Structure 1
């Protein structure tokens, strides 16, 4: 052995880094054996061994030298060892004058502690997000956001389901409050201290969907983060994964999601290690998934997995009892947010009560914020409302105006006015309801009373016709 070889061997042996040098065929020439403890519990002498042999034994997983010999260029990868450590390896080829690789120098750095700290930080960050969600939920509870019987029943069902892991599918138009109920499922469950990960499937670009959902290892593709990235499914571990707009989920991802739901494990992009995951799945959509299944746009097997407990949330126009409550809630909330004291004029309030709200709760909240921010006066008058709301309100009030003109005549006393109002209410209920039972509920009286009043006003109408 030459003096230069002895010096080189001593430098490598005493180095604080794991340095290994192989020849052009992958046979180890020099290495600092002590640092191989990161690869094996009891490192054995490896001088003269082939890196391909070590790779087959699972000691190098994978061998960076083997990759360099194949690619003929510098490489950096993350390795998983038998001892459970995570190693960042970098290797460089050395060429002779003929362009042949004669040596490969590799360096290995133990990243286990750094990765552990990173994972702990990410876990802590997810918990903080979970606590923030819980705080938001508690703030919402300062006042109930619904009083209608339909919403109260849904709320009771949510509470019954909270401490189970049953998959819930929330159905309803956009803006009805599906996200609110998904959060309620989480904050009332035994997973409340773990993360609540909300994913809007309609906002993630198709080419990024897989990497966002399942994560990736370092170097998996151009532009990937150096240390890899946790996917949204991994972030939801032990918590709740809420997939909003599930109808927008690409078919290719539907198959992968189904596999995760069945096996409770997944593999990051660019990785080869299966990771177990445990989460509660809640989904929501405003689409008809059954129709999508028939058109081949949604997997039937996934649909059955999701449709375990479907809950339909009615639109705001069908639960008018909640409108006034929501108006007051958002006025208070947004005034507090912007440190203002705006109020609605009674006529403005009345218009908002009879508006149909096609955008549901979200539209109502956005409108209240818009009115508070754009109206200069403290009292918000009807002329501050959008033209479409005023127009719809005018149409809805036409029948009321005719009734008012008919009722408030000088020749009508209290008894006749009361009868006219009662008759008008009975006729209105008859138009809107399908049965006398529904009419009774609508009017707040008993079903026999409805039948008596229908008969009374029918007889009155017949008598007027005969006269």
Structure 2
């Protein structure tokens, strides 16, 4: 060993004096290191620059090294105890060569402080020349550098064994080293350092795996707790092993109350058996409607999916059940299929007293939850009124569902309105189907042509309006619903009640807020505005629209429009298509409209007024003169109050539209 030390000294001195390297004596990694140091201008003797880290900088680098320093510390302490009597110094450096931890005899650390054995100094190759730590960092392998192999003369009495520590991606994150007197160090010292480095790497891997598992668990819990669906884990015995925040809140249980309970706490025992068998058989369940029982006993409809768990710690088979409130799903479906109200009161055009009175009445009742009955001839815009009422109410962000009671086969009206369960009738869908009341929960249900509803369905509707609960056809589960009902009809429901075609109790339940939608002939002054609006819509892609002749307005206004606004819109579409780029003239108007309109031009002497019209005008005049007081108006006309009411109904006179103060 002394002979080898002498050769190293001579090789170093020769390099110092001549710059020549003896590659026969020096190992290749030492030769490469010396050449790097010479190229970088590192001194072979003399003092180093005073560039130690201050306390704040040292603490920051220790924080950056993180778990490596924490994990390495006990291994270094154990290693120091094993070699403590041999006057060894142990150091841990980061990947830039800064010493972040030193372990050894304190008197020895102070004695050799000038050799950069203490924390806070830099021992990289570029800072102090060839050394074990520097080569371990550069070459990424373990090494023992002895005596004069060191580039700087100050280390010629020392030997350093160093081994790199790798991170999870194989990168060098730190170096552990042991330094001591040249004559006291043995080859096995390097083996001890390498073993410590491997042990530290193994602990780092375990810590990383633990942190990853902890992170995954936290992510899992965060997802479980934040997702807007109910999640349950159930084992093959039916025991609830996990439940998320949404499910707990929705069902009304806290975690302690529900964990460990059987599934039958939430589902009927008979049905639970079927689900448990599915768990045992690792079966799946997709979008099946299930009725769950809340803590307060209330039953709610949810859509359930079930997915088996392949491996569990308990060894029991388990499954994850996710559920969504059917109401939320129905709301989403309504938005997708367009179950929304697009019209507001601003879309109802007209400046006549009749239309303004109707709109004003609708505005006043919009924000209440009272049932509304819209009555008037076909084509007068009852659906537009219904949508306007919905959009002016607190339910405007909820579903608006429409159903035409007269367009559905009589035997299917009930199932459309109230839904049905699986097997309720031949052809019923598997899993059943919600009805319009469920789909409009929270919103508005518009029942058009209510006068055409079958009597047996009327009885079911009456019960729903009274109890705010729905029972599906063929089922027995009671489902609470929060629905505002707007009904519409072109029929005289009072007369239909007298004929036995409509239930009187349902009539009075619906007729809480009656609103009359006036016929177009009753508001002729609005016709020009409607013509302009339809003309603008039909020519919206044309910047220079042809004019409309005055005679056109006059003829169109004098027509009675039995089909009301709908007929006017259709006629306008036909005439705009025929006119092309030419102005709208009277000769474009269909002959049946022109002939009917000309009758209005006869003089008052030639015109014969029907008795019914005279009677109607007399009733209107009396009521207006008496400022809406029906009893006074009846006395003025010389008839009874009941008779006056009958005449008002037969002539279609409504107080809120026909009578002005």
TM-score bracket relative to the smaller structure: 0.5 to 0.7
Query: In the TM superposition, what whole-angstrom CA distance separates every residue of 1:393-428 from its partner, at most 9, and x where no partner exists?
Result: 23323449999xxxxxxxxxxxxxxxxxxxxxxxxx
Deviation at 1:133, TM superposition (A): 2.3
What residue number does 1:210 align with? 414
SS of equivalent residue, structure 1 residue 133: coil
What residue number does 2:61 align with? none
Structure 2 length-normalised TM: 0.46
What residue number does 1:123 align with? 331
Asked whether the equivalents of residues 376 and 518 of structure 2 are also in contact (C-alpha less than 8 Å), the reply is yes
The answer to whether the aligner puts 1:246 opposite 2:450 as a matched pair is: yes
Matches within 5 A, 1:307-456: 307-336=511-540, 341=545, 343-399=547-603, 434=618
For residue 33 of structure 1, the aligned residue among 218, 224, 236 is 236
What residue number does 1:60 align with? 270
Structure 1 unmatched ranges of 5 or more? 1-31, 47-53, 66-75, 90-107, 404-428, 442-467
Q: CA, structure 1 residues 326+78, in 2 after alignment: closer, same or farther (shift >3 Å)?
A: closer
SS of equivalent residue, structure 1 residue 319: helix
The answer to whether the aligner puts 1:285 opposite 2:489 as a matched pair is: yes
For residue 399 of structure 2, the aligned residue among 181, 195, 208 is 195
What residue number does 2:509 align with? 305
Deviation at 1:353, TM superposition (A): 1.3
Deviation at 1:172, TM superposition (A): 1.0
Structure 2 unmatched ranges of 5 or more? 1-234, 242-257, 276-285, 295-299, 307-317, 608-612, 626-661
Deviation at 1:272, TM superposition (A): 2.9
Structure 1 length-normalised TM: 0.63
Asked whether the equivalents of residues 61 and 79 of structure 1 are also in contact (C-alpha less than 8 Å), the reply is no
Aligned residues: 349
Q: CA, structure 1 residues 192+337, in 2 after alignment: closer, same or farther (shift >3 Å)?
A: farther
Matches within 5 A, 1:180-191: 180-191=384-395
Asked whether the equivalents of residues 334 and 340 of structure 2 are also in contact (C-alpha less than 8 Å), the reply is no
> Which structure has the larger Rg over C-alpha atoms?
2
Deviation at 1:250, TM superposition (A): 0.9
Deviation at 1:376, TM superposition (A): 3.4
Deviation at 1:110, TM superposition (A): 7.0
Asked whether the equivalents of residues 61 and 80 of structure 1 are also in contact (C-alpha less than 8 Å), the reply is no
Query: In the TM superposition, what whole-angstrom CA distance separates every residue of 1:154-193 from its partner, at most 9, and x where no partner exists?
Result: 2222111111112111111111122222112111111111
What residue number does 1:421 align with? none
Q: CA, structure 1 residues 165+200, in 2 after alignment: closer, same or farther (shift >3 Å)?
A: same
SS of equivalent residue, structure 2 residue 349: coil
CA RMSD in angstroms comes to 4.3
What residue number does 1:5 align with? none
Deviation at 1:112, TM superposition (A): 4.4
Asked whether the equivalents of residues 126 and 235 of structure 1 are also in contact (C-alpha less than 8 Å), the reply is yes
Deviation at 1:127, TM superposition (A): 5.0
Asked whether the equivalents of residues 33 and 43 of structure 1 are also in contact (C-alpha less than 8 Å), the reply is no
CA distance in 1, matches of 2:424, 2:274: 15
Asked whether the equivalents of residues 469 and 481 of structure 2 are also in contact (C-alpha less than 8 Å), the reply is yes
Which structure has more RCO (C-alpha within 8 Å, separation ≥ 6)? 1
SS of equivalent residue, structure 1 residue 198: strand
CA distance in 1, matches of 2:374, 2:344: 18
For residue 147 of structure 1, the aligned residue among 325, 347, 351 is 351
Deviation at 1:202, TM superposition (A): 1.0
